[in-house]
Structure 1
Amino acid sequence: MSEKLTMAVIGFGKSATRYHLPYIMQRKNIQVKWIYAHHLNKRPETQKAYEQHGITFTDQIDTILTDPAVQLLTICLPPSLHFEFAKRGLTAGKNVLVEKPFTETVTEAKTLFELAATKHLLVMPYQNRRFDGEFLALKQVLQTGYLGEPLELESHFDHYRPDPQIKHGAAIDGTFYGLGSHLIDQVVALFGRPQQVSYDIRAQQNPVSTVDDYYDVDLFYDNFKAIVKSSFLVAQPYPRFILHGTQGSFVKYGIDQQENDLKAGITPAATDFGLDSPKFYGELTYQNANGDWINKQLRTPRGDYGRVYDGLYASIIQGKAPLVTREQALTDLEILTAGIKQASPSIYRLATQ
């Protein structure tokens, strides 16, 4: 029988109940012992459902930090609290997973990684979008080499949600940190550290707002460019991915279905959970070795955010390398912070590592 990983979830909001707990509960080798909720019994029925699985709720964080059985903390708190609670967890000798955005600054992130290293612990940002179905499809296209050498990738995460109200807050509360942290990480995971980045980040719906709701960011590599973009005023769906290469193109519409299924009350245990509709399968158009043009659909792999926890188990219990490396996490955050340090449009050149 495999060793169990015992953990606690810090926070009991949408992040915890939608993106973490439904997946953790499906894994027999991981046990949630505690859930920290700042306001106990705020959602009594939901809380009771988890208590029936043997999970104890508390509003005392020290109760969790001093429990020697707890090996892992998942931080699902507002972004401004990520650094504080992650540091407290590491200081108490716990491995830590932090919801995105990881921290507000590169300095904070480096502090966490250095503290983790001195204590021989793992700290990692929760980059669940590495297990979106459409991202797995894109990864498959690149690995099989259908399109030859990649030349340009366009990655969109758009909605139509008009909201002209004035929004005030810090950069970490904006769309660039909130959604851009995912799209940038996907590019860095596939292509590594870019050479330079250009930014257009702004409050599109109400320019008086101090919190951005739009970004158009280009990441430049040798003879390759990745464009990541989000807007809340896109009424006509745009492809999620457009990839052009020396031998063809790949176009994929539609965002991963896991979130929609969870909203509908479908759990990850369901046979068809997260499956993409065939009408949204990606389209490949490429020239084969004989010079013939091929056009075909590519079935979307099934996404599974729980694979982040499979990776954590492998790292913490079996000693394997972390899913998201220190270098990737710091590059992601360097790109994010550079974008909001000066007014857009702007350009930032990354130093080689």
Structure 2
Amino acid sequence: MKKLKIAYVGFGKSTNRYHIPYLQIRDNFEIARVVTPTLMKNPEAQLALEATGTRFSTDIQDIIQDTTIDLVIIVTPAKSHFALAKQLLQAGKNVLLDKPAVEKLSEMQELIALANAANLFFMPFQNRRFDSDFLTVKKVIETGYLGRVIDIQVHMDHFRPDETVVTGSNFDGAFYGHGVHLVDQMVSLFGSPEKVQYDIRSTRQPLSTLDDHFAVDLFYPDHLKASVHATELALVPYPKWLIQGTKGTFIKQEVDQQENDLKAGIMPGVSGFGEDSPQAYGHLTYLNQNGDRIEKYIPSELGDYGRIYDAAYETLVNGAEKLITDAQMLRVIDILEGGFKNG
């Protein structure tokens, strides 16, 4: 089995929480290099990797000049993504880019064109395609219990009141930060919407220039509406998922447990990691072929953010199609940017 040599640009919380723990239970990747502006900021994590042969430095040229690197993962603040990805693609490197990948559709178009012209791998790290709750929703829809889906809502709600006036660009707000996950999930399920309507606001402090609340409707053929929502002022949150179809309804209250486990120091590979308790299973109500009303709880699929790496491996080593297509990448950024074109 071929082992891919990878390098990280960035060694902060995201790299150490959402990336490396999943690689440590896979034997087809080797973390060869890490470039970070601040060495020994996380000495325990750095020393642990150095003990396995990973080389740390502060200069991205160390990655560019290393011809053994098969894939570079950029996990840095979002504003740096475009310039770093462009630099690496121009240097002939395959790139997996954390999200939100870029702010503008034109930037995504440029990166995709660079990658395709040089026959390079380029894809955003849309790990929430492998959320437990999303995988469960996908399975419920595919089984046909709901009939034709007519309305689907997904929420990313918190209660984090804050009266601080915050300023910044649209790229720093909730729609880019949270919406990139939810919009990508809808695009992966249903494709490109025919029309999009936006409600994007700053609700905690109306004088803020950064949005913290959005409700965005994506309209599809056959009168399907997919709605993505997030707020920081939901003391009692909405269900994570609410789906209505011509034959049934599916409601799931709870979010994927991977992030909670990671924050608690429970790592991938440990028994029970990311698993829902039965109390967190989604509730399905549907009419069977006899017209009988059936209610049951659907055991949650097991999420695994590391499957993004598995997909990248299959493309790079075995020539599989990319998990996230160029068309999907472009449409997601187009929808995000579109929320601010008339605002």
Q: Check whether TM > 0.5.
A: yes
- List per-residue Cα deviations over 1:43-77 (Å, max 9, x = no partner): 21221122222211110110111100001111101
Q: Distance in 2 between the 1:97 and 1:167 partners?
A: 30
Aligned to 2:26: 27
Is 1:290 matched with 2:316? no
| Secondary structure class of the residue paired with 1:303 | coil
Aligned to 1:174: 173
Aligned to 2:209: 210
**Residue segments in structure 1 that go unaligned for 5+ positions in a row:** 344-353
Task: Normalising by structure 1, report the TM-score.
Answer: 0.96
Aligned to 2:164: 165
Cα offset for 1:217?
0.4
Q: Distance in 1 between the 2:265 and 2:277 partners?
A: 18
Cα offset for 1:143?
0.7
**Residue segments in structure 2 that go unaligned for 5+ positions in a row:** none
Q: Distance in 1 between the 2:258 and 2:290 partners?
A: 39
Is 1:91 matched with 2:86? no
Aligned to 1:15: 14
Aligned to 1:236: 236
Is 1:270 matched with 2:291? no
| Secondary structure class of the residue paired with 2:244 | strand
Q: Distance in 2 between the 1:13 and 1:69 partners?
A: 24
Q: Which residue identity does 1:133 align to in structure 2?
A: S
Aligned to 1:78: 77
Aligned to 2:260: 260
What aligned pairs does 1:1-353 form with structure 2 within 5 A after superposition?
2-222=1-221, 223-343=223-343
Identity of aligned residues (%): 47
Runs of 4+ deviating beyond 4 Å:
none
Q: Which residue identity does 2:89 align to in structure 1?
A: L
Q: Distance in 1 between the 2:88 and 2:30 partners?
A: 18
Q: Distance in 2 between the 1:266 and 1:63 partners?
A: 33
- List per-residue Cα deviations over 1:125-157 (Å, max 9, x = no partner): 111000000000000011100010000001000
Task: Normalising by structure 2, report the TM-score.
Answer: 0.98
Q: Which residue identity does 2:287 align to in structure 1?
A: Q
- Judge which range, 47-56 or 188-197, deviates more: 47-56
- List per-residue Cα deviations over 1:300-336 (Å, max 9, x = no partner): 0110000000000000111110111000010000000
- List per-residue Cα deviations over 1:30-52 (Å, max 9, x = no partner): 11101111111122122112222
Q: Which residue identity does 1:322 align to in structure 2?
A: K
Aligned to 1:348: none
RMSD of equivalent CA atoms: 0.8
Q: Distance in 1 between the 2:166 and 2:146 partners?
A: 43
Q: What is the number of equivalent residue pairs in this alignment?
A: 342
Cα offset for 1:237?
2.6
